[in-house]
C-alpha cells in the first residue's frame, strides 16, 4: 500500500519538535511538502509559502497537518477539504465550536477524514487510567495545571488574542484527558478568569465542574508558575486514588506507579493513518466545549499587565 503523502502546514516549534519526527517514524506516511510563509522548511522536501501555492504548483498531497494558530485554521481546512485532502487539526481544532462543526459536516460531504488531534489523550498513562476508572465510582477530581508562560510560550502574541485561548491553550490538554477518562459526562458550574489588563485572554483560571453522577471537579490553571511545573490530575474513587502526573505520562494507582514509553505524537499519527485507511473521522469537540463554557459563564477578573 502506497504511503499517504502529507504536507505540514505551519512549520513552527510544535511541527519541528513533534510532527516531523512522528511522520518520519511512521511508514504509513511520506512527507510530501511543508508550507510556511516564514520558515524555509526541511532540506530536500518541497516547500510552499502558502497552501494556495502548494495546491496550484504541487507536489500532489493526500493529507495536510494544520499546525498553525487556531484563528486561521478553518479557512486552510476548507481549502484542503475542497481538494479532497484528509485533514489533521492540531489542538484546539478551531477558534470556535461552530467552525469545528462546519468542518466536520464538510468532511463528511466530501468523504475525507477529519481528525481533531488531542495529543494528551495519547500520553502513556491515559489509556490505562480510563480502563481503571471505568469500573470505579468517581467521588471527586482535582486538576492542577501550572506552568511558566515565559518558558513554554515566549513571544507568541496570537495566544493572547481572541481565539488563542490564553492559559486554556495548555489547560485544554488537561480537559482532553478529563473528558476521555471519566466514565460520565462533565459540565461547568462556575469559573473565574484572570485576564491581564493589556491582554484579551486569561493568564489564570479557577474552574468548577461536575459530572452527571454528582462528583465535584476543581481545576486550577496558572501561567505564572515559577520553579517546578505542575500537570497533575487526581481522581478520588471508591477504590482509592488515581493520579496522572507529568501531563498524563505517569500513572499512579493504589497498586503502585505504572511507567511506559511516552508516544503522544506517534500515537496521533497512527490514529490518523487508521482513520484514513478505514474512511472515518474523529472530531471530538468536548474539551473545546468546556473551554467555551468557561468563557461563556466565567467571571472575569482584571489583573496586572503581562509582558514577555
Q: Which residues are catalytic?
A: 91
Total residue count of the chain as it appears in this document: 308
- How far apart are alpha carbons 49 and 300 in whole angstroms? 39
Sorted by sequence, the CB contacts under 8 Å of residue 230 that are 6+ apart come out as 144, 145, 146, 147
Is residue 148 reached through a cis peptide bond, with omega within 30 degrees of 0 on the bond before it? Answer: no
Asked whether the beta carbons of 195 and 301 are under 8 A apart, the reply is yes
Provide DSSP, 117-177.
--GGGGSTTHHHHHHHHTTS-EEEEEEEEE-BHHHHSTT-GGGGSTTS-TTHHHHHHHHHH
Is residue 59 reached through a cis peptide bond, with omega within 30 degrees of 0 on the bond before it? Answer: yes
- How far apart are alpha carbons 219 and 291 in whole angstroms? 12
Among 307, 265, 291, 298, which Cα is nearest to 145's?
A: 291
Among 206, 207, 198, which Cα is nearest to 160's?
A: 198
Amino acid at each position: 500500500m502506497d504511503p499517504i503523502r502529507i504536507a505540514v502546514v505551519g512549520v513552527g516549534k510544535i511541527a519541528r519538535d513533534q510532527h516531523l519526527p512522528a511522520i518520519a517514524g511512521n511508514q504509513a506516511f511520506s512527507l510530501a511538502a511543508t508550507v510556511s510563509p516564514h520558515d524555509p522548511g526541511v532540506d530536500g522536501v518541497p516547500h510552499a509559502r502558502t497552501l494556495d501555492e502548494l495546491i496550484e504548483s504541487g507536489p500532489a498531497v493526500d493529507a495536510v497537518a494544520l499546525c498553525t494558530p487556531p484563528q486561521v485554521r478553518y479557512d486552510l481546512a476548507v481549502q484542503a477539504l475542497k481538494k479532497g485532502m484528509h485533514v489533521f487539526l492540531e489542538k484546539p481544532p478551531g477558534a470556535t465550536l461552530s467552525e469545528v462543526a462546519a468542518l466536520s459536516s464538510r468532511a463528511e460531504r466530501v468523504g475525507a477524514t477529519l481528525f481533531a488531534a488531542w495529543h494528551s489523550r495519547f500520553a502513556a498513562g491515559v489509556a490505562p487510567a480510563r480502563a481503571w476508572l471505568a469500573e470505579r465510582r468517581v467521588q471527586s477530581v482535582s486538576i492542577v495545571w501550572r506552568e511558566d508562560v515565559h518558558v513554554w510560550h515566549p513571544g507568541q502574541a496570537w495566544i493572547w488574542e481572541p481565539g488563542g485561548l490564553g492559559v486554556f491553550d495548555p489547560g485544554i490538554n488537561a480537559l482532553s484527558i478529563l473528558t476521555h477518562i471519566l466514565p460520565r459526562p462533565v459540565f461547568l458550574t462556575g469559573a473565574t478568569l484572570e485576564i491581564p489588563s493589556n491582554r484579551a485572554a486569561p493568564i489564570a483560571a479557577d474552574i468548577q465542574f461536575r459530572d452527571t453522577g454528582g462528583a465535584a471537579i476543581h481545576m486550577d490553571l496558572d501561567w505564572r508558575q515559577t520553579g517546578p511545573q505542575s500537570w497533575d490530575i487526581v481522581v478520588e474513587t471508591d477504590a482509592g486514588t488515581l493520579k496522572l502526573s507529568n501531563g498524563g505520562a505517569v500513572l499512579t494507582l493504589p497498586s503502585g506507579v505504572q511507567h511506559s514509553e511516552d508516544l503522544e505524537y506517534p500515537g496521533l499519527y497512527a490514529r490518523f493513518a487508521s482513520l484514513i485507511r478505514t474512511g472515518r473521522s474523529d472530531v471530538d469537540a468536548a474539551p473545546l466545549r468546556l473551554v467555551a463554557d468557561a468563557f461563556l459563564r466565567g467571571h472575569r477578573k482584571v489583573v496586572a499587565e503581562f509582558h514577555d
